[in-house]
Amino acid sequence: MSRVSQPSLKLQDDTSLLDQFAGLICDLDGVVYEGPTAISEAIPSLREARDRGRGVVYATNNASRAPQEVADHLRSLGLDAMPDDVITSSVAGADALAHSFEPGSRVLAVGGQGVSHALAAAGLTPVPARLVRAGSAVDGESRASVVAVLQGYGPDVTAADLAEAAFAIHGGARWVATNTDRTLPTERGTAPGNGTLVAAVSAAVRSEPEVVGKPGPAMYELAARRLGAEPRRLLGIGDRLETDIAGAHAAGMPAMLVLTGVHGPEDLIVAERTTRPEYVGADLRTLHEIYRVPSLTDAGAVCGEATVRVGGADDSAVGGQPVSESAVLQVTGGSTDEQLRAALLLLWSLIDAGDLTPDTAVGLWRSSVG
């Protein structure tokens, strides 16, 4: 069986995962809450982290709400959160523009109230698309040019709003998108996200925007500045591989995926290398547990008391050749989390070495748990 180098995670023995980091950058939907409801164990886990002196910043691609509104929601769930503890992709976009233009510069705001609020808080002048469309005066001017467009999600964004964005971009305005998430989970199901609206404008202007939300590093870099720590000393936490984990890695930050949201074990198995998290846990309680790091052995992989190996139909270990279709994944001992961590390390190793296809790896995992 060919091998690739395994992650070099140097955790101290018999200490919790939280003990290894100065602070946390935590995603919200799918990690802390699902819609209006807190996810089980998330609130006490985060309160304990704060009680132990760790800074926590909440970073969300959702651009529609202002930090004050998000903080109010978190406080209603039992967290001691202030607006400065919340970074939305609107905040990141406004921060980027504020570093490029003079205070008071006019920026077309497309999206929910969170977009306009972020621009005003950054010292810029938000120009709502509806006012431009109506010909209303903004700061004494009507239909005056804008230096940039900040486009974020809003439930009431119209085709006419998108047209105003296209007109401004055609006129030379800098175009910044808060995020390009194609879908948005709602209580009624999956709805089109900001990425769908951005694509509509892109088709009209035949160009792409500067994107400041995840998976880019901007939100994580801003969060690190607020916490006053280097990114490598902070832990990014999320439930989506291609946004939360990729974004943390883009900022040079280690990341943990929790299994309370969008992505689960099968998504982890087939993840691209850049989106593979250093840490995996069932939920935020993992922060306060001793984290057992998996390691490869000649026979397979181990993590704590868990052992995982690939065996053939005759129960012999597979080695020195691609894994056959008759192979099985043998998982014994340890906790569910330890079993998953060991399995991921082993399967990633085999995939990277070309001994196993991602689809076959998923099939092995399904056979072991089902």
Write out pLDDT tens, residues 267-320. 999 999 999 999 999 999 999 999 999 999 988 999 999 999 998 644 444 444
Catalytic residue check, 27: yes
Cα 3 to Cα 12, 83, 100, 319, 327: the distances in Å are 25, 47, 47, 10, 18
Check if the beta carbon of residue 138 is closer than 8 Å to that of residue 98: no
Tokens of 95: 């921060």
Report CA 171 to chain centroid distance, whole Å. Answer: 33
Give me the phi and psi of 137, to 5 degrees please: -75, 140
Q: Domains of the chain, with CATH numbers?
A: 18-61+216-288 (3.40.50.1000), 90-211 (3.40.50.1000), 295-369 (no CATH)
Q: Could you count the other beta carbons within 10 Å of the beta carbon of residue 86? A: 24
pLDDT digits (tens, 9 = 90+) for 230-267: 999 999 999 999 999 999 999 999 999 999 998 999 99
Tokens of 337: 């989390």
Give me the phi and psi of 53, to 5 degrees please: 85, 15
pLDDT digits (tens, 9 = 90+) for 19-28: 999 999 999 9
DSSP state of 39: P
pLDDT value at 208 more than 60: yes
pLDDT the model gives residue 9: 52
**Catalytic: which of 14, 19, 27, 314?**
27
pLDDT the model gives residue 11: 58
CA 52 – CA 138 distance, rounded (Å): 47
CA 107 – CA 119 distance, rounded (Å): 8
Give the residue among 320, 175, 239, 173 at the shortest CA–CA distance from 32: 239
Q: Could you count the other beta carbons within 10 Å of the beta carbon of residue 12? A: 10
Check if the beta carbon of residue 6 is closer than 8 Å to that of residue 295: yes
**Catalytic: which of 14, 29, 156, 244?**
29
pLDDT the model gives residue 142: 47
pLDDT digits (tens, 9 = 90+) for 128-187: 988 787 665 455 554 568 999 999 998 899 999 999 999 999 999 999 999 998 887 666
